[in-house]
Amino acid sequence: MTDVIDADGYRANVGIVLMRGDGRVFLGRRVGGRGWQFPQGGMREGEDPHAALLRELREEIGLGPEDVAIAGSTARWLRYRLPSKFVRRNQHPVCIGQKQRWFLLRLAHEGVQFHLDTTAEPEFDKWRWADYWEPVREVIHFKRRVYRCALHELGAVAFPGGLPAYPDWWEGEAQ
């Protein structure tokens, strides 16, 4: 199956914010220590965002629909552009960035076992729980704006009484 790249060069993608009961979120370390990020992945031809979410959840961290509850999603696609050194110009159509639909998932039970090796080429080699805003600092620089937007929008669902306090390092990130 092929990835879906729109006429503007953006690859359709789903992002997963997995939260446990204490408000901390799942972060996976990219294989080889290449940074930390949320599970995410490209949609395939004919696949809707919900189906892509469930497939990526299984492929990247080994969970099934019985392990999570979908609490919300972003209302629109959030986009980021790839720095030119990451654009594969020999690929057709050329992908210049990602457009992502983000989902907030809650663990259905505390006994969940993560499996990072469900595919021949795993995405992650380690995982950890992080404070809600921490992924903004951990993710590669060109994804930070999308992470801020997704966490702000999904935070209204995650924390109906108000968003968690911004950390000291935030330095104006909330604007």
Listing DSSP states for 63-107 in one string gives --GGGEEEEEE-SS-EEEEPPGGG--TTSSSPP-EEEEEEEEEEE
17 neighbors 150 (Cβ within 8 angstroms): yes
- Nearest Cα to Cα of residue 153 among 104, 107, 100, 106: 104
Mean pLDDT confidence for 62-87: 94
Q: Rounded to whole angstroms, how far apart are CA atoms 165 and 145?
A: 18
For tokens 């972060």, what's the residue? Answer: 27
At the fourth CATH level, which superfamily is domain 10-164? Nucleoside Triphosphate Pyrophosphohydrolase (3.90.79.10)
Q: How far is CA 90 from the centre of its chain?
A: 26
Structure confidence at residue 173 (pLDDT): 55
* Full-model pTM: 0.93
pLDDT confidence band for 172 (50 / 70 / 90): low
Strands 78-81 and 36-37, sheet pairing: unpaired
What pLDDT digit, counting tens, does each position of 32-47 carry? 888 999 999 999 999 9
Q: What is the mean pLDDT of residues 134-140?
A: 95
The domain limits of the chain are 10-164
Least confident span in 4-13, 36-45, 91-100, 115-124: 91-100
